[in-house]
């Protein structure tokens, strides 16, 4: 197993400070790492964390600090809160996180969720495994975390689910996925600000992933309530705990929407955009006709043309403006 460079340096410092065996400390780190990996693989990260912390707790303080605040976040890809909140109090500021799910899926709706957090909410989530939903493989785990998020005292949530027929109408009008996303993000922010009376203290900013070249795309879509809120767009915004929570809620709602379509049309609808999705789309058109495709899919995907046996337009090379 490859040894972590920072862990090795920390171990060497620890060995220089007392009589602790270098080999014993290295083995302890590797056991801790394995425990965390095992917990993640079995969708029981808390069990892995519990074992790794017990092991690290038998060693000196710098060792368990490293395990809890460096090793665990690196493996689990989750937000960890500890000494960094002392160094950076802004991490506890009241704010809104926004994220979406279903943008890259041919079948199913587009789901956009928003989550308000404050210091009490953030502290309540320290050990429950809130992280970017893309780093959670199990839909069951997503549902469990979504339920915990919704039930956290002081947390305020909202979700806009754009069904496929509505999505296709909006896309025909807007002709841009980014514009459609901006509209959805703005609606979620406005909806949450309509519940401002539930937020104590009120949010100072809203954070989302940067899907457009400029945040002005969302700012233009905001109405009166949202105009006075600081809007922050950045890459890897899911590293913020509010956005990570929103990503979990959005994926949970997308999954529910996709399952509802499968039940309504008695068909299996694969996620994403792949050869399996192409095959399912073609089969659906053969059995139900092209007219029904708009009810379960996003028609601007090339998959829709292939499913209907229509020619695809030539691909254009993307260039940064």
β-bridge partners, 35: none
Residue 210 confidence (pLDDT): 82
Structure tokens at 81: 């809160």
In the chain, DSSP finds a helix count (H) and a strand count (E) of: 14, 5
For residues 174-184, give the mean pLDDT.
92
Residue 61 confidence (pLDDT): 46
* SS3 per-residue string spanning 270-284: CCCCCHHHHHHHHHH
Q: Sorting pLDDT into bands at 50, 70 and 90, what band is 139? A: very high
pLDDT tens for each residue of 206-255: 999 887 666 676 777 676 666 678 889 888 888 899 999 999 999 999 99
Q: Sorting pLDDT into bands at 50, 70 and 90, what band is 10? A: very low
- pLDDT more than 70, % of the chain: 67
Structure tokens at 259: 């399952």
65, pLDDT greater than 70: no
Q: Backbone phi, then psi, for 277, in 5-degree steps?
A: -70, -40
Q: Does domain 89-258 have CATH number 3.30.420.10?
A: yes
Start-to-end CA distance of the chain, whole Å, equals 44
Average pLDDT score, the chain: 80
Which residue from 164, 169, 138 is spatially nearest to 281, judged by alpha carbons?
164
Residue 1 confidence (pLDDT): 39
185, pLDDT greater than 70: yes
pLDDT tens for each residue of 144-159: 999 999 999 999 999 9
What are the boundaries of each domain within the chain?
5-76, 89-258, 266-307
6, pLDDT greater than 80: no
Q: CB-based burial of residue 147 (10 Å sphere; 0-12 exposed, 13-18 middle, 19+ buried)? A: exposed
Using a CB cutoff of 8 Å and minimum separation of 24, what contacts does 78-87 make? 78/45, 78/129, 78/130, 78/131, 78/135, 78/244, 79/130, 79/131, 79/239, 79/240, 79/241, 79/244, 81/122, 81/123, 81/126, 81/241
Residue 268 confidence (pLDDT): 97
Residue 8 confidence (pLDDT): 47
Residue 84 confidence (pLDDT): 54
Which residue from 200, 210, 201, 252 is spatially nearest to 233, judged by alpha carbons?
210
Cα 224 to chain centroid distance, Å, stands at 28
For residues 183-204, give the mean pLDDT.
94
Residue 38 confidence (pLDDT): 52
Question: Which of 41-55, 93-107, 182-196, 245-259 has the lowest average pLDDT?
Answer: 41-55
For residues 35-61, give the mean pLDDT.
51
133, pLDDT greater than 60: yes
Residue 314 confidence (pLDDT): 87
With a CB cutoff of 8 Å and minimum separation 6, the contacts of 272 are: 104, 105, 106
Q: Backbone phi, then psi, for 288, in 5-degree steps?
A: -120, -15
Is the distance from CB of 271 to CB of 265 less than 8 angstroms? no
Question: Which of 17-21, 243-247, 259-263 has the lowest average pLDDT?
Answer: 17-21
Residue 305 confidence (pLDDT): 97
Residue 235 confidence (pLDDT): 86
Residue 315 confidence (pLDDT): 81
Is the distance from CB of 136 to CB of 42 less than 8 angstroms? no
Is the distance from CB of 240 to CB of 207 less than 8 angstroms? yes
Q: How distant, in Å, are the alpha carbons of 57, 163, 263 from that of 295?
A: 55, 8, 13
Residue 29 confidence (pLDDT): 55
């Amino acid at each position: 197993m490859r040894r972590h460079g920072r862990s090795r340096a920390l171990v060497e410092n620890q060995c220089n400070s007392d009589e602790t065996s270098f080999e014993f400390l290295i083995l302890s780190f590797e056991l801790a790492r394995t425990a965390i990996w095992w917990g993640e693989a079995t969708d029981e990260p808390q069990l892995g964390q519990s074992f790794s912390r017990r092991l690290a707790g038998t060693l000196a303080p710098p060792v368990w600090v490293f395990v809890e605040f460096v090793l665990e976040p690196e493996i689990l890809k989750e937000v960890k809160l500890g000494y960094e909140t002392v160094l950076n109090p802004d991490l506890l500021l009241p704010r809104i996180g926004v994220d979406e799910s279903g943008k890259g899926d041919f079948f199913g709706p587009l789901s956009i969720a928003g989550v308000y957090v404050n210091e009490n909410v953030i502290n309540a989530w320290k050990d429950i495994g809130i992280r970017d939903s893309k780093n959670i493989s199990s839909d069951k785990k997503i549902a469990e975390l979504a339920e915990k998020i919704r039930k956290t005292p002081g947390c305020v949530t909202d979700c806009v689910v754009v069904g496929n027929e509505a999505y296709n109408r909006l896309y025909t009008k807007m002709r841009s996925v980014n514009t459609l996303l901006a509209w959805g993000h703005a609606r979620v922010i406005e909806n949450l600000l309509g519940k401002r009376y539930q937020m104590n203290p009120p949010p100072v900013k809203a954070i989302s992933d940067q899907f457009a070249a400029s945040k002005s795309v969302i700012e233009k879509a905001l109405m009166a309530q949202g105009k006075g809120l600081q809007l922050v767009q950045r890459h890897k915004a899911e590293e913020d705990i509010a956005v990570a929570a929103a990503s979990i809620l959005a994926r949970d709602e997308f999954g529910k929407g996709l399952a509802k379509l499968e039940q309504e049309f008695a068909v299996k609808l694969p996620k994403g955009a792949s050869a399996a999705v192409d095959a399912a789309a073609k089969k659906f058109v053969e059995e139900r006709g092209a007219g029904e495709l708009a009810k379960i899919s996003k028609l601007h995907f090339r998959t829709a043309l292939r499913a209907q046996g229509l020619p695809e337009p030539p691909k254009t090379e993307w260039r940064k403006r």
